[in-house]
């Protein structure tokens, strides 16, 4: 029986993680959760699960909930997530928090010898070197939840990592994969949020459309699998059936295929090295799929992907700059403050403007994140208002 803490339990990944836990009561036990501001969803979770430790975003919410649920210990804020990890007995921490604020809980999970099941890409994009150093220091274990990295992880099983030639990460192309650069000038928020294959949160859906998300996944793959950027490729694959591939030195290519269902990589991260029955999921039928298409990515069409490779190779605080700028720019777009293409402009400008630090500390990364956000909000907030 593995005891699980789920951070970001009210989001898409968190909800599906709870579903996996519920469907395998003989394997998993929920021992604590964090949610943000979605108190309605929290009440639903507390009806479905008997847990005694909960973290929310605000101190006022925590204080009010204490009276409603006197048997539950409530924490709040980012420090509360870390305290939850420290105080509550658990084997695995699922980090499904969105954004840079997920980095410190990831580091805390490693330091307290919890297995880290990671869906918070910012932990590696912004703090990859710190996370790797802590994993080495504490002999920790990290298992990826992102479908692409889970696919690579599965394709590597039973093979010598030294024989890997390339990692091939697939990309759907997002909401606007069939539009030209000229057509992107007039796209709306509603159009951008309509992903053709996946049901995801707002930021990641927009990041998929700009391909920033895929750039972040390249940086993640570098850290997860200790592989150089020259040996990571991105392929456009509109069906989202092949989630990623590994090419070996003998030119064999091993791929992981499946439906667009995040419960599979979530469950694999929790159950590894075993495979469990996946409930409430449509069986994969290759005959119904009929055909699979792949093509190279056009750097001019998706310039943020190229920038991510550049930032990854430069290292230091470059990933933190990209992530902070992206979070702010996407937020502005979602609130109709800037246009879709201005997301790119803001990120490129921040990358040039924010000072580079070759060997950043955690405090340096926190400050880099703050500066990148502030720069984008200051320079772009009034563009279309």
Asked if the model's pLDDT at residue 186 lies above 60, the reply is: yes
Q: 8: annotated binding-site residue? A: no
Q: 38: annotated binding-site residue? A: yes
Residues 110-132 pLDDT 10s: 999 999 999 999 999 999 999 99
Q: 13: annotated binding-site residue? A: yes
Please state which CATH class domain 2-144 belongs to. Answer: alpha beta
Task: Tell me the mean pLDDT in the region 23-29.
Answer: 98
Residue 205: band (very low, low, confident or very high) from pLDDT cuts 50, 70, 90? confident
Q: Which residue has the higher pLDDT, 89 or 281?
A: 89
Please provide the CATH number assigned to the domain covering 316-385.
Answer: 1.10.1740.10
Q: 217: annotated binding-site residue? A: yes
Give residue limits of the domains in the chain. Answer: 2-144, 149-261+283-305, 316-385
What is the maximal distance between C-alpha atoms in the chain?
63
- Three-state DSSP at 96 gives coil
> pLDDT above 90 covers what percent of the chain?
85
Q: In this predicted structure, what is the pLDDT of residue 202? A: 78
Residues 75-117 pLDDT 10s: 999 999 999 999 999 999 999 999 999 999 999 999 999 999 9
What sign does the dihedral 221-222-227-229 (CA atoms) show?
positive
Q: 11: annotated binding-site residue? A: yes
What sign does the dihedral 133-134-139-140 (CA atoms) show?
negative
Q: 172: annotated binding-site residue? A: yes
Q: 33: annotated binding-site residue? A: no
Q: 280: annotated binding-site residue? A: no
Please state, in angstroms and rounded to a whole number, the distance separating the CA atoms of residues 18 and 2.
13
Please state, in angstroms and rounded to a whole number, the distance separating the CA atoms of residues 298 and 306.
9
Asked if the model's pLDDT at residue 9 lies above 60, the reply is: yes
Q: 208: annotated binding-site residue? A: yes
Work out the angle at residue 224's Cα, subtended by the Cα atoms of residues 302 and 280, and round it to the nearest 5 degrees. Answer: 80
Please state, in angstroms and rounded to a whole number, the distance separating the CA atoms of residues 181 and 328.
22
* Rounded alpha-carbon distances, angstroms, from residue 107 to 56, 101, 132, 242, 288: 19, 11, 10, 31, 43
Q: 214: annotated binding-site residue? A: yes
Residues 319-377 pLDDT 10s: 999 999 999 999 999 999 999 999 999 999 999 999 999 999 999 999 999 999 999 99
Q: 31: annotated binding-site residue? A: no
Asked if the model's pLDDT at residue 197 lies above 70, the reply is: no
Residue whose token pair is 């998929």 = 208
């Amino acid at each position: 029986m593995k005891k699980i803490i789920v951070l970001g339990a009210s989001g898409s990944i968190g909800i599906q993680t709870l579903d996996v836990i519920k469907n395998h009561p003989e394997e998993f036990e929920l021992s604590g959760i964090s949610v943000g501001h979605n108190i309605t969803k929290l009440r639903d979770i507390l009806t479905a699960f008997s847990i005694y430790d909960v973290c929310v975003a605000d101190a006022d919410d925590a204080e009010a909930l204490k009276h409603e649920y006197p048997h539950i210990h409530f924490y709040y804020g980012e420090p509360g997530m870390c305290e939850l990890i420290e105080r509550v007995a658990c084997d695995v921490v699922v980090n499904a928090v969105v954004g840079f604020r997920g980095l410190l809980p990831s580091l805390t999970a490693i330091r307290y010898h919890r297995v880290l099941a990671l869906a918070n890409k910012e932990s590696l994009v912004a703090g990859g070197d710190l996370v790797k150093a802590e994993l080495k220091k504490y002999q920790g274990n990290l298992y990826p939840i992102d479908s692409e990295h889970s696919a690579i992880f599965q394709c590597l099983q039973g093979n010598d990592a030294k024989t890997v030639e390339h990692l091939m990460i697939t990309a759907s192309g997002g909401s606007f994969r069939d539009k030209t650069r000229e057509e992107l000038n007039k796209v709306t928020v509603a159009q951008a949020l309509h992903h053709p294959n996946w049901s995801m949160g707002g930021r990641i859906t927009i990041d998929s459309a700009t391909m920033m998300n895929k750039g972040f996944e390249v940086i993640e793959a570098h850290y997860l699998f200790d592989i150089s950027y020259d040996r990571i490729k991105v392929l456009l694959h509109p069906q989202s059936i092949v989630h990623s591939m590994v090419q070996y030195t003998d030119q064999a290519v091993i791929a992981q295929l499946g439906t667009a269902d995040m419960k599979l990589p979530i469950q694999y991260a929790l159950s590894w090295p075993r495979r469990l029955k996946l409930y409430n999921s449509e069986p994969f039928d290759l005959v119904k799929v009929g055909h699979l298409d792949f093509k190279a990515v056009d750097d001019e069409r998706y310039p943020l992907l190229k920038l991510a490779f550049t930032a990854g190779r430069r290292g230091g605080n470059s990933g933190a700059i990209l992530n902070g700028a992206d979070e702010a720019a996407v937020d502005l777009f979602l609130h109709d403050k800037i246009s879709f293409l201005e997301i790119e402009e803001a990120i490129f400008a921040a990358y040039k403007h924010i000072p580079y630090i070759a060997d950043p500390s955690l405090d340096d990364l926190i400050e880099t994140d703050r500066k990148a956000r502030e720069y984008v909000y200051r320079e772009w907030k009034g563009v279309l208002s």
